[in-house]
Amino acid sequence: MVLMGILAVSSQALAQLKTVTGKVTSEVGAPMAGAQVIVKGTRFGALTNNDGNYSVRAEPGQVLQFRFIGNAPEERTVGAEDVINVQLKRVATGLDAVVVSALGETNVKRALGTAQQSIQGVDIAQTNRENFINALSGRVAGVEVVSSSGTPGSSTSITIRGISSISSSNQPLMIIDGLPLDNKTLNTGVLASDAPNSSIAFSNRFLDFTNRASDLNPEDIESLVVLKGPEASALYGIDAANGAIVITTKRGKPGTGGFEYSNSFRLDKTGAHPSLQRQYGPTTPGTSIGSFSYFGAPYAAGTTFYDNVDGFFRTALTQKHNLSFSGAAPDNRINYRISVSADKQEGVIPNSNYGRINLTGASQAVVNSWLKADLSMTYSYSNNDQVFKGDGGPLLGLLLWPQTDNAKDWLTPAGTRRRVTLLGQGSEVDNPYFNVAKNVINAKTNRIMTNIGFTIAPWQWGNLKTNIGVDGYTNQNLIMRHPESYYGYSLGGALDIADNITRNISTQTLLNINSRQIWKGLSLSGLVGNSVSDARDLTDAVKGQNFLDPNFISINNTDLATRYARSTLSQRRLVSVFGSATFDYNKYLYVTLTGRNDWTSTIPQERNSFFYPSINTSFIFTDAFPSLTRFLTSGKLRAGYAEVGKDARPYAYRPSLESKTTSYGGYGYGFTGPNLGLKPEFKISRELGTELSFLDDRLGVDFTVYHSETKDQIVNDIRGSYATGYILFNLNGAVTRNKGYELTLRGTPWMKNGVTWDVVANYNQSSGRTIALPNSLPESYISDTWLYGNVRNGTMPGLSTMSLTGFFYLKNNKGDLLINPTNGLPLKSSTFIDRGYDRQPKYTVGVTNSFRYKKASLNFLLDFRRGGDVFNATDHLLTVRGLAERTADREVPRVIPGVLRDGLENTANPTRNNIVVIPAQQTAYYTGMSEELFIEKNINWVRLKDITFRYQLPPTWLFARDASVFVTGTDLWIKTNYTGMDPIVNGNTAAVGGSGGTGIDYGNFPVPKGLSFGLKVGF
């Protein structure tokens, strides 16, 4: 490596060193473990041990910096003395608080000209969520977290500052210890069943896969920083156009090595389900009813009903165990941390489970006076059993199953699927018990992440830090549609095997240049860097049908002639150089310039190099004008402008041939046509913010307003006239605009008599709008979201990026419903139109309250949302089938208000509708209802996301140096105007781009209520 060359020139003579020791204490005098002690201008130093003691080697005249996240840094010059004791001051809101900035560097808040927010790992871990992303909801202003469903291992999507990309991912880049972390959710598009033109494709609708960031053990996270805008992430490049989440993992703390053990046991329960009418029986009654439609005669008096829904769910037990061993050598030259954890989660739906094992090792070593090495490795194994969702899934089976039949009785005496209708086996929705017992969705993932870092600092003026890492995993998926099932019957059973092998190699090298004075009061610091990444993602998939033995699960058990294999390889390489320079004037005015040039493999070569700059500034006006401190403790203004480019997905611009499965094989073009003129898209953002603190830092305000516009946006899979010779194109030319406000309030309303009460409130208001689509095309949508009836996530110029289009009711020019003169029912459009539906909330608020009294603490997060529409497709289905309670008044005659479409509808005197409809006789009243009536407008909620009570046990207990017990509740309480089960829902999975299936609720299980308890001990 070139590194070696640099090492060779670094033989600089070093002055005589001596050992300095001391103790770091908090503002209340308690020893602080894990505080950083750094020789200023180098990256060398030590961490304090459990007693707050440290020991470093430095030469006289050098300055020692003492840093601890959440506290103001202190500096001391090394003199003659050998002992330096320091007391740090807690400044949670203050400008001198130490935070992790972009590229994983620590910095004081005052120097940052961009919006970012950090969370401590302990706050994430205490929520006891298996997938740490679910813990971020409400904790960061501007972040929206949507879990696809409440099934263990379901995918969660996270977006920062709204939806700006119409068809690509809107999720942020995840960075772990400086290098990218793959957070893919497997797209069903790589399965053999989803080969182009397939008639049995899953289309990301009927099943879900885990988003891979959840392979991380939340207990291994030290801290997490959310970089919200492209300003902050200009340095992370094109993948961070939607922001970045920068995770720092735990390292060993010095002092005597120690074990730490924690566990938790959680009980999950769900009770929510739609209520069903019990007045009218099936349309075609009898021992075998005709179908699951309930427009028949009323049930006879004394009919026995079964509560099929209640008995179905189980009280699920989840347990976690974490054991870690960490410490550091007495001279602090080596630290280490090893941890093992095991999670075993049960879902409330039978046969849904998630298990994970993590083994993590991390070590840092100071090799010599100018070289420091850091190594971390994580192995994780997860095993996930899911159930189908949506169409034909167990929830719909549960709701549609006759209430007069005991669904628990799901097998015939011969051991096959018991059925109750005259429908064909492939048309009768599965009994839910059968569905979850016989169909299989299993995923096993083995993942290894390694990260090797070197820091070389032979010079006073700066240092060189280089990291190389490999994130590799094998994700083995098995999906079985049982031969007797609704899904599988016509196929004789279908088995999909898909092995995804992902291997991402990344390197990053930074040359940091320390701050140096270039003029009186003006100093300059900066960095130049380079990164290279090579991402490779291969899926080998096979499908087989016509099972020989109906219950034996193996591809070898399928009919040889039906086996179909498919391989999908996706590769993308990216090379970047970047730099940043910060001018600092008297520590109250900072201006940072950045620039980055990327070369990507996914854009035609003549345009694959692109440069983008950013500028941001931070002005501490209370330092510039000290008289202002009469009104406030400190105040900062910041402003930023940034551009960031973004490339296309691999293979987007040149069409390729597919091997066809039609008669006699051969090759033919796929759906997607060429676009050799493809160029990168650019997002241009402006941001203005202020951070103010009052009352001696007991009240802090952080306010940001932003505006961003994405130009030349690449829209994937947009349709055109077939006369092009193709069906879909990847085109530049969309424009979207996002704007919003973020407000974070932090305060300590109470700090007396040993009781401390801290509050953090995050307010977020964001809106995304589509301004233009490529080639003036009228609409863009993701076809996977067209999952129920005729509603999809279509957006058109002028609409929200989260709009819904559909076959909605026709109206005359005065806005009256148009009524069909032949039957008195309203007329629907036959094209996808807009009626102003928008899934984007008006605003969201997350409020965290923390109370501490002596050894007890209580912490809870309330999450509020106002506005945003949710499509309750489950309710539409229940209405169409005559099961929803609203259909109970079906005998009542009614006239639908509106005007007849008789040619006079747009005249001054349209004919008012006077046709009487009795739904019981004219079931089209229900069965023909537009889905529009089930898009519930302005959904609000208040939910208690999580609440934790923790009690510190006396130190003598169990001979532990540190022991505590806790009780945590998750999703215990919700109040909402949504009539369905849970408005946090995704009809697809996190794999779907654009606004995806967020807010489309069809046959999805809600997140259950959980109550966990456990203990934590350290020896």
Partner 1 sequence: MTHTSRIRTRPAARQTSFTDKPMKILRGALLAGALLLPTTSCKDFLDVNTNPNAPQTVTANLYLPPMLHWLAMSPQWDGRFVGLYTQQWWHVGTGIPATTWGRMGYDPGSDNGAQQWRDVYWSWGQNLVDMINKAEAEKRWDVAGVGYLLKGYGWLVLTDLHGEIIVKEAIDQSRFAFDYDTQEYAYGEVLRLFDVAIADLQKTGDAVDQAYLAKGDKMYNGDRTKWLKLAYGMKALALNHFSNKSTYKPADVIAAVDQSFASNADDALLQFPSLQPNDDRNFYGPTRGNMPSYRQAAFAVQLMNGTQTNGTVDPRMSRMMAASPDGQYRGLDVNVLGFGALSTAQQPMNFWGYVTTPPVGSPTRYIFDDKTRWPIVTYAELQFVKAEAAFRAGDKATALAAYKNGIAAHMDFVNARNQDNGQTATQISAAEKAAFLADPNIVPTSAGALTLSQIMVQKYIALWAWGHNELWMDMRRFHYTDLDPATGKQIYPGFSIPTTLYAANAGKPVYRIRPRYNSEYVWNIPALTTIGGMAEDYHTKQTWIINP
Residue from 11, 627, 662, 909 touching partner 1 (CB under 8 A): that is 662
The one-letter amino acid code at 345 reads: Q
Q: Does 727 bind partner 1 (CB under 8 A)?
A: yes
Q: Does 726 bind partner 1 (CB under 8 A)?
A: yes
Site for partner 1 in 546-585 (CB under 8 A): 546, 561-562, 564, 567-569, 571-573, 575, 577-579
Site for partner 1 in 786-815 (CB under 8 A): 790, 807
Site for partner 1 in 55-84 (CB under 8 A): none
Residue 441 C-beta: closest distance to partner 1, Å: 20
Interior/surface letters 4-43, b for 16+ CB within 10 angstroms, e for the rest: eeebeeeeeeeeeeeebebbbbbeeeebbbbbbbbbbbbb
Whose Cβ is closer to partner 1: residue 56's or residue 200's?
Answer: 200
Residue 452 C-beta: closest distance to partner 1, Å: 12
Long-range contacts of range 591-599, CB-CB < 8 Å, 24 or more positions apart? 591/113, 591/615, 591/616, 591/617, 592/111, 592/113, 592/616, 592/617, 592/618, 594/234, 594/235, 594/642, 596/234, 596/235, 596/237, 598/237, 598/238, 598/574, 598/645, 598/647, 599/574, 599/575
Residue from 50, 386, 675, 848 touching partner 1 (CB under 8 A): that is 675
Residue from 170, 351, 509, 730 touching partner 1 (CB under 8 A): that is 509
Given a contact cutoff of 8 angstroms between Cβ atoms, the answer to whether 154 and 215 are in contact is no
Residue 807 C-beta: closest distance to partner 1, Å: 7
| Options 175-183, 295-303, 603-611, 851-859: segment touching partner 1 (CB under 8 A) | 603-611
Cα separation values, 637 from 112, 619, 689, 702, 857, Å:
10, 5, 6, 10, 34
Q: Does 292 bind partner 1 (CB under 8 A)?
A: no
Residue from 10, 474, 597, 976 touching partner 1 (CB under 8 A): that is 597
Q: Does 600 bind partner 1 (CB under 8 A)?
A: yes
Cα separation values, 34 from 43, 250, 631, 940, 978, Å:
16, 11, 35, 42, 46
Site for partner 1 in 515-544 (CB under 8 A): 528-530, 532, 534
DSSP alpha helices (H): ranges in 827-931? 873-880, 924-927
Q: Does 288 bind partner 1 (CB under 8 A)?
A: no
Q: Does 281 bind partner 1 (CB under 8 A)?
A: no
Q: Does 724 bind partner 1 (CB under 8 A)?
A: yes
Q: How many residues does the chain have?
A: 1019
Name the burial class of residue 737, with classes exposed (0-12), middle (13-18) and buried (19+) by CB atoms within 10 angstroms of its CB.
middle
The separation between the first and the last C-alpha atoms of the chain, rounded to the nearest angstrom, is 43
- Element spanning 969, H or E: strand 962-976
Given a contact cutoff of 8 angstroms between Cβ atoms, the answer to whether 584 and 515 are in contact is yes
Residue 247 C-beta: closest distance to partner 1, Å: 24
The contacts of residue 640 (CB under 8 Å, 6+ apart) are 113, 114, 229, 231, 614, 615, 616, 617, 685, 686, 687, 688
Residue 469 C-beta: closest distance to partner 1, Å: 12
Instruction: Look up residue 739 and give its two tokens.
Output: 């704007």
Whose Cβ is closer to partner 1: residue 99's or residue 491's?
Answer: 491
Rounded Cα distance, 442 and 476, in Å: 8
Instruction: Look up residue 434 and give its two tokens.
Output: 């059968």
Q: Does 775 bind partner 1 (CB under 8 A)?
A: yes
Residue from 74, 779, 863, 982 touching partner 1 (CB under 8 A): that is 779
Given a contact cutoff of 8 angstroms between Cβ atoms, the answer to whether 133 and 153 are in contact is no
Whose Cβ is closer to partner 1: residue 434's or residue 612's?
Answer: 612
Cα separation values, 593 from 195, 229, 686, Å:
47, 15, 14
Q: Does 888 bind partner 1 (CB under 8 A)?
A: no
Residue 716 C-beta: closest distance to partner 1, Å: 15
Q: Binding string to partner 1 for residues 392 to 411, with x set by CB under 8 A, is what? A: --------------------
Q: Does 3 bind partner 1 (CB under 8 A)?
A: yes
Residue from 330, 668, 836, 897 touching partner 1 (CB under 8 A): that is 668
Site for partner 1 in 462-491 (CB under 8 A): 466, 490-491
Whose Cβ is closer to partner 1: residue 787's or residue 947's?
Answer: 787
Rounded Cα distance, 623 and 639, in Å: 17
Residue from 298, 424, 798, 897 touching partner 1 (CB under 8 A): that is 424
Q: Does 823 bind partner 1 (CB under 8 A)?
A: no
What count of other Cβ atoms lies within 10 Å of the Cβ of residue 680?
22
Rounded Cα distance, 852 and 946, in Å: 17
Q: Does 30 bind partner 1 (CB under 8 A)?
A: no
Residue from 831, 907, 921, 977 touching partner 1 (CB under 8 A): that is 831
Residue from 670, 797, 867, 1018 touching partner 1 (CB under 8 A): that is 670
Residue from 11, 199, 627, 956 touching partner 1 (CB under 8 A): that is 199
What would the 3-class secondary structure string for 517-531 be? EEECCEEEEEEEEEE
Residue 597 C-beta: closest distance to partner 1, Å: 6
Residue 58 C-beta: closest distance to partner 1, Å: 28
Residue from 609, 850, 923, 952 touching partner 1 (CB under 8 A): that is 609
Task: Choose among 930, 934, 983, 878: nearest CA to 398.
Answer: 878
Q: Does 499 bind partner 1 (CB under 8 A)?
A: no
Q: What is the DSSP letter of 35?
A: -
The one-letter amino acid code at 972 reads: L
Residue 545 C-beta: closest distance to partner 1, Å: 5
Q: What is the DSSP letter of 796?
A: -
Q: Binding string to partner 1 for residues 621 to 660, with x set by CB under 8 A, is what? A: -----------------------------xx-xxxxxxxx
Pairing of strands 728-752, 755-772: antiparallel
Site for partner 1 in 312-331 (CB under 8 A): none
Q: Does 673 bind partner 1 (CB under 8 A)?
A: yes
Whose Cβ is closer to partner 1: residue 500's or residue 764's?
Answer: 500
Q: Does 665 bind partner 1 (CB under 8 A)?
A: yes
Phi, psi of 992 (to 5 degrees): -80, 135
Cα separation values, 493 from 190, 391, 443, 557, Å:
20, 17, 19, 10
| Options 215-223, 282-290, 608-616, 707-715: segment touching partner 1 (CB under 8 A) | 608-616
| Options 90-98, 302-310, 600-608, 952-960: segment touching partner 1 (CB under 8 A) | 600-608
Number of residues that bind partner 1 (CB under 8 A): 93
Q: Does 611 bind partner 1 (CB under 8 A)?
A: yes
Q: Does 922 bind partner 1 (CB under 8 A)?
A: no
Given a contact cutoff of 8 angstroms between Cβ atoms, the answer to whether 237 and 576 are in contact is yes
Whose Cβ is closer to partner 1: residue 286's or residue 955's?
Answer: 286
The DSSP bridge partners found for residue 276 are: 884
Site for partner 1 in 430-469 (CB under 8 A): 466
Q: Does 304 bind partner 1 (CB under 8 A)?
A: no
Q: Does 286 bind partner 1 (CB under 8 A)?
A: no
The contacts of residue 251 (CB under 8 Å, 6+ apart) are 47, 222, 326, 335, 337, 362, 364
Rounded Cα distance, 670 and 15, in Å: 68
